Structure formats: C-alpha cells, structure tokens
Structure 1
Amino acid sequence: MGSSNMSYLNPQTVTLIGIPGLEHVQFWIGFPFLGVCLVALLGNIFLLIIISTERSLHQPMYIFLAVLAATDLGLCVAIAPKMLAIFWFGASSMAFDACLTQLFFIHALQGVESGTLLAMAFDRYVAICDPLRHTSILTPFFLVWVVLMVACRATVLVGVLPILLKRL
C-alpha cells in the first residue's frame, strides 16, 4: 500500500497576512514601524558620515561600528518596504523568488552583524591584553581582511539556504 504525495511544491507566490488578528488596525500599526525605521536609517547614515569625515575615528573600533551601521541600513532596506506595503496597501502576495532574496539578505546581514560583534570583541581583547601592539596587530589590511571574511562567511552559510529551498 504505497501512498503517493502529489502536492505541488513549486509556488509562484507567497501569501503574507501581516499581524494575525489585527488586520483592522494594521494601517495605523505601520506608522510606528515607519518612525522606528526612519530613526534607524537617519541615525546610521549620520554615524557613517561622522566616522568617514572625522580622521580621529579611523580606528578599528569605529571601523567595526561603521560596518554595523551599514548592515543595519541594509536590514532596514531589506525589511521595511514590504512590511509597510503589507500594512498600508494590503500587498499580501510576494513572488517566491523575491521572498527567497529577502530571506537571503535578512539572514546574511544578521550573520555579518554577528561576525562584526565577534571582531569587535577581538579588537577590545587585543586593546586590553596587548595595548602596545594594538596598532601593529590590527592594521588596516587586517581590518579589511576580517570584514571580508565575515561577509564571505555569512554569504556562504546563508547562500545555500535559498538554493536548497528553490530546488525543493
């Protein structure tokens, strides 16, 4: 007695419902989300401008802080437009490929944030345990290498997921 699963596993669209049970007030819920997103965007842009223009802030701790600000900008850009479209315009459907792309960027940027926090911890460890060699250990080349490795790690670890989901 063999049973055959004939379900269709290649969806063209994904249906998003917003916040279940609060569909009647989702229009108003979108405004606090927009406010938080705008504050995050403006704060991170302001932080990036200050770090890039002020020469005394070109140190490892502030470079890593700038990387965190850039990943937060990416997360706001990846999440907010579709969320606000659901809340304000009732755009409840999304193409499956767009959903996978959004999934990739959200999780890859969160992986970059996690790796950057680890790099910041290493920076502080070196600054505390070996302060005289801090600048010789954390050179600009080393900082670029660490940021690239963190980004590559997140991209490789998360990049497999959408590919596997698409082949499912």
Structure 2
Amino acid sequence: MDAIDNSDVQEDDISLGLLLSTLADAKDSPLIFYYDGQPVKPGYHVTEVKAGRFSALDCGANPEAWTEIFIQLWDIEEGDRTHMPAGKFSAIIRKVTEHVKLDDSAKLTFEVSDGVQPMQLYRAAMPTLRAGTVHVELSPRPASCKPRDRWLAEQQARSCCAPTAGSNACCA
C-alpha cells in the first residue's frame, strides 16, 4: 500500500482538524463562508461530505498518494433562515465521522454552487471571529505542478539555510 502524503496541503490551506478546533471556541456564532467576494446566503446547506484516497502519477511521472476531504456547500437562500451556527456545522461533520473515516490532517476542499452555476473548488483560509461571527474565506483551488512545487521548496530551503558568514534568521 502506498504511503499517504498530505504534504501538498499548502500554507494558505487549513485542514479539517484545524477548522473544527477553531470552530469549537465559537459554536454559537454564525458561520459564514465567503467566496468570489461574497458571503454564502443565510440558507446555505452542507449537502455532502466526502473523504477520498487518491493515487496518481504527477506530471513528472512520480507516484503520488494523498487523502482529501470535500465539503459541498449549496449556496441558497431559504425562507427566513440565518447563517448556520459553527456548532451545527461541527455536528454535521461529527455525524459524517460515524459513517466515514475522516483524516483530520487531510487536504480540505470545498465544492460550492448555487444550484445553477457549476460547482467550483475552493480551499479555506484560517477562520476569523469578527463581531460575533465566524468568517471563513474560500479561495479558488489552483492547479499545481508537484515536481515544480517540490523543486521551488528545495530552492527556498537551500537559499535560506545555506551557510553564510552572518547569522541567518530563517534557519533558527
């Protein structure tokens, strides 16, 4: 069995575990996701939570394996509903874990649609609490070239941590 490598979770991504632990401190606060410069509508639904285990070859013919969790948001307005409390969102995820194994460290992807436009893929930033409301910014999930990403990370590490005559703060 291939080893699962969730190292492709980017710096500006958060994991499911981090999202849930942050929401635990604000369970009664409305949870509002923002995408494409707008908030989700007050009646939004979590329509599906999926866990996937993927095996692939990247563009450099390197084997890749990772786990990913997809949370599908249906961005609709329904009656006089308000934005879902953070605790209700967490309860939905807990209910899913009764039936589906969710890896808290897995890459987290949101699938969002208003039911008319095609679903779009987003990654989530760290939640923030503002005026008693939990805000989670979603940004489009870009394509990436894993061999290039690894090469850039190696170059950054080399340039940052190469021996120098003075002190080098990034290698502390």
Common fold: TM-score over 0.5: no
**TM-score normalised by L of structure 2:** 0.21
Q: Whose helix fraction is larger, Structure 1's or Structure 2's?
A: 1
Q: Whose strand fraction is larger, Structure 1's or Structure 2's?
A: 2
**TM-score normalised by L of structure 1:** 0.22
